[in-house]
Each structure stands twice: as C-alpha cells, then as structure tokens.
C-alpha cells in the first residue's frame, strides 16, 4: 500500500476542539491537507467528494450517528488505512486491532497524545522511502510479516535464508530494519546477524530477531550476536508495531544526525567537513591516476552590501538562491560545499579540460541572469566570481588554495568573471 505524495488526510471527530487541534498539528508539522468531518454522514460525503485522495483516516470510535464504531468498517471498505481515537482502553479495542487492518489506536487522555498522533502520521507518510528486509524460511511467516509492514506503508523485501538475505542487503544497502528468524537452513539467524554486523553497526541498521522458541538464552544469544531486539511468536500486532517503529526511528535519528554533521544547515549543501572527508578520498584516487580532479572556488560579489541594505534574512535567501542554481547547473557527481560566509567550493571529477571554462562560465551567467525575487518590490541582481584550479598537486589543501588564489585574481580584476590558476593568474 504505497502512498503517493501529496494526499489528503481525513479526521472524523465530533469534538471540534480535538479536531481543530489535530488539524493544526498535522498541517503545521507534516504539511498534508486535512479534511475534517464531524460525523459518519459528513465522512461519507468527504470520501465521495475527494475520491481516492485520502492516504489515512483518523476516526473517533464513537460518533453521534455511529456509536458502535460503524465508521471503522465503512472507511476500511473504502481502502483507506485507519487510526482509531477512543476515550477508553479496553479489550474491545485490542480485538479490533487483531480482527481488522487498523494501524493503531490512541486513547484521548490529554493533549500530549496529539504529538504521538502527529509523529505516527509523519512516520506513515514517509515510510514509503524506508526499507525493511524479512529473512525467514517460512513463506507463510514472510507473508504475514509483509502484510503487517505494508499496512504501515513500508517498502518490504524478502529472503528465505541468511545467504539470500545478504544478497538482498548488498543490492539495497540503505535498508533500515531486518527482521530475521532464528531457525533457518543454510545460514541461521545467529550467523546471518554476525555477517551483517561485519559491515553495519547497530546505529546504522537495526535487527529484530524473531522465533517461536521462547527462551531467555535464545534472546541473549541473538542480542549478543548483534540484534537490537527480540520478539517471540506468537506476538500481538501492537507489540510488533511498537518494536518495529522504535527500531526504525532509532536508525532514522542516527542517519539524520550523521547527515547534519556533514550538511550546511542553511543551504542544504555539503559543509567544509564533508568536502575534506570526501575530497581527500578523491584526491588520493587522483594521485594514483584513477581520476582527474578540478577545484572551483566561488564567492558572491558584494554580499556584504546585500546584508547591510536589506538585512541578514535577505542575505540568507541569497545564499539559498545561489545554492539552488549551483545544484541545478552542476553535475550530479560534483561535490558542492559551503566553505563559510558567502564562499563555496566545488570538486569536479573527470571534467574535460576543454569544457571547464564553459561549465563555470555557464554557471556564472545563469546566476547573473536569475534575479533573487524577495517580494514584488524587491528583486536583486547577483553575480559571482570564480577561481579554478585543475591539474596535479601535492595535497587537496594546495589545490583549494590555488583555486582560492585564482578567485582572488577574479575579484581584483573586476568581479563577475572566472580566473584559472597559473604561475601568474590570468583572467578571462
């Protein structure tokens, strides 16, 4: 059940206060369009009006015109995934979870639950980009687990044993969660986990061991071999989802922190740290003759004037504007990094020397021609100066310094131009 963004979310709730709070939270944090219905009749009209538009419905279990939860069966019959809102937590709710394809239920104790709902919806909305691998020799078991995971819109892969699991992981190295059976032929769960942990730490990929053999010794074995969690069959659907979601969230947060460490917070480009980490590897390859490397240094002309005349907010918009143009104009394999302030560095791999000037000059002209539109009354023309170094040198630092020297020459020669490094830099 794959979600296609953007789509709408349906809330059916007779309390205007609760529906308004939920609507504000969901539209504000996730950016989805929320349609609110106060009863079952209004819900039917909304579904008919917005046919095939809802990726999810949040339903009050007791409505004035549907006091026994009739709304749940109706919405499920329309192939819309369901989250239940209820005033009570009892066995009836658990039975519903087991009998019907309900994603989750939330007890309306206090407003803190709204954050849980928002986080849950955010997860469901983005799960299509998250990959899970099921490793189990039982086809029936794989189908059951796949069904549960796909209800939460996850991208699911399967393997019948550890050897096949390793092959799938090799093809999809961005898998976030593996759910593996312990008892399997060819390679059991323990050996499979050991192999996975040779390449992926617990922070990079989460593993849940699963088995019908419920014993403390087995859970310890799996955890000691590198599993993050253990689940014994048979299990409640709620427990399965809690374990799976917690493990996926852990990997998501780790990846976000790792990405933040190498990303410029303002422009979304790589930062100086990433440039030197990745650039050093490229430089070493260039030294061995495997690739060629070209360095470009770019500086926004008269950037201080933009800040002084229009404020730092407009200066931030200018940096984002230039960054977007660079990402559009340059090749996918080029590394673009913000060095600090209004200065950027570009590393180009295997750039044809005959096309170097053409590439950077096209970028310069594109920046000059595309005005920064702040509002109807404020449109700012911007230019950049560019320094280029291509060829061999003793270090990446030296290459960047030479490109910086060429940038200085471009600035001194009148700005809005490119300059190539040589013994005595010359402008063009």
Per CATH, the number for 272-427 is 3.30.70.270
| Residue 333 CA from chain centroid, whole number | 20
CB neighbourhood size of 392 (10 A): 12
What is the distance between the alpha carbons of residues 16 and 60, in angstroms, rounded to a whole number? 12
pLDDT (average), residues 106-115: 76
In percent, the amount of the chain with pLDDT more than 70 equals 94
| Banded pLDDT at 100 (limits 50, 70, 90) | confident
Tell whether the model's pLDDT for residue 106 goes beyond 90.
no
Alpha carbon of 87 to those of 17, 56, 69, 81, 97: distances in Å? 15, 20, 12, 20, 16
- Which is catalytic among the residues 342, 358, 376, 428? 342
> For residue range 329-346, what is the model confidence (pLDDT) as tens digits?
898 889 999 999 999 999
Question: Is the separation of the CB atoms in 37 and 10 below 8 Å?
Answer: yes
In the DSSP assignment, the letter for residue 415 is: S
pLDDT of residue 2: 41
For tokens 């026994």, name the residue.
68
What is the distance between the alpha carbons of residues 187 and 159, in angstroms, rounded to a whole number? 12
CATH for 8-126 (1.10.8.80, 3.40.50.300, 3.40.50.2300, 3.50.50.60):
3.40.50.2300
For the chain, the domains span 8-126, 130-261, 272-427
Phi-psi region of 39 (alpha: psi -120 to 50; beta: other; left: phi over 0): beta
> For residue range 288-342, what is the model confidence (pLDDT) as tens digits?
988 999 999 999 999 999 999 999 999 999 999 999 999 998 988 899 999 999 9
What is the distance between the alpha carbons of residues 56 and 36, in angstroms, rounded to a whole number? 12
DSSP 341-400: TTEEEEEEES--GGGHHHHHHHHHHHHHHS-EEEETTEEE---EEEEEEES--S-HHHHH
pLDDT (average), residues 35-44: 96
Which two tokens mark 30?
């996730």
CATH for 130-261 (3.40.47.10, 3.40.50.2300, 1.20.1730.10, 3.40.1390.10):
3.40.50.2300
| Contacts with 273 (C-beta within 8 Å, 6 or more apart), sequence order | 261, 262
Alpha carbon of 107 to those of 85, 89, 191: distances in Å? 6, 6, 41
pLDDT of residue 187: 93
Question: Is the separation of the CB atoms in 131 and 172 below 8 Å?
Answer: yes
Tell whether the model's pLDDT for residue 424 goes beyond 50.
no
Kind of pairing between the strands at 335-340 and 384-390: unpaired
Catalytic, 4? Answer: no
Does the fold of domain 130-261 match that of domain 8-126?
yes
| Banded pLDDT at 214 (limits 50, 70, 90) | low
| Residue 19 CA from chain centroid, whole number | 28
Strand partners, 159: 135
This model's pTM is above 0.75: no
User: Greatest CA span in the chain, whole angstroms?
Assistant: 84
Quick check: bond before 6 cis, omega within 30?
yes
| Residue 208 CA from chain centroid, whole number | 22
The residue ranking higher by pLDDT, 3 or 240, is 240
φ/ψ of residue 410, rounded to 5 = -65, -40
């Amino acid at each position: 059940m794959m979600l296609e963004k953007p789509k709408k979310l349906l809330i059916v709730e007779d309390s205007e206060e609760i529906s308004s709070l939920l609507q504000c939270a969901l539209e504000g944090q996730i950016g989805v369009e929320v349609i609110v219905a106060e009863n079952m009749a209004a819900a039917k009209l909304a579904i008919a009006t917005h046919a095939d538009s809802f990726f999810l419905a949040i339903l009050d279990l007791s409505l004035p015109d549907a006091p026994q939860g009739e709304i749940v069966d109706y919405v499920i019959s329309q192939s819309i995934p369901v989250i239940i809102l209820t005033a009570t937590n009892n066995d009836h709710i658990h039975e519903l979870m087991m009998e019907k394809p309900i994603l989750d239920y939330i007890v309306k104790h206090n407003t803190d639950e709204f954050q849980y709902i928002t986080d849950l919806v955010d997860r469901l909305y983005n799960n299509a980009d998250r990959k899970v691998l099921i490793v189990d020799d039982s086809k029936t078991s794989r189908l059951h687990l796949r069904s549960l995971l796909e209800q939460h819109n996850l991208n699911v892969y399967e393997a019948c044993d550890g050897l096949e699991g390793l092959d799938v992981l090799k093809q999809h190295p961005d898998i976030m969660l593996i759910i593996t059976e312990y008892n399997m032929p060819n390679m059991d769960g323990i050996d499979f986990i050991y192999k996975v942990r040779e390449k992926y730490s617990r922070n990079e990929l989460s593993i849940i061991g699963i088995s019908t053999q419920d014993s403390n010794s087995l859970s310890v074995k799996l955890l000691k071999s590198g599993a993050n969690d253990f689940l014994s069959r048979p299990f409640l659907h709620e427990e399965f989802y809690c374990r799976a979601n917690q493990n996926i969230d852990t990997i998501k947060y780790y990846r976000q922190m790792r990405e933040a460490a190498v990303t410029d917070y303002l422009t979304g480009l790589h930062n100086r740290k990433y440039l030197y980490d990745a650039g050093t590897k490229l430089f070493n390859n260039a030294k061995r003759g495997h690739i060629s490397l070209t360095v470009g240094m770019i500086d926004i002309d008269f950037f201080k004037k933009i800040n002084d005349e229009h404020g730092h907010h407009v200066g931030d918009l200018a940096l984002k504007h230039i960054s977007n143009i660079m990402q559009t104009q340059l090749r996918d394999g080029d590394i673009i990094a913000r060095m600090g302030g209004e200065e950027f560095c570009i590393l180009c791999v295997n750039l044809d020397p005959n096309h170097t000037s053409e590439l950077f000059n096209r970028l310069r002209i594109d920046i000059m021609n595309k005005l920064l539109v702040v509002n109807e009354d404020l449109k700012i023309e911007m230019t950049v100066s560019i320094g280029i170094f291509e060829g061999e040198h003793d270090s990446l630092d030296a290459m960047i310094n030479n490109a910086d020297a060429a940038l200085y020459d471009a600035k001194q020669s009148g700005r809005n131009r490119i300059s190539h490094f040589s013994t005595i830099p010359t402008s063009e």
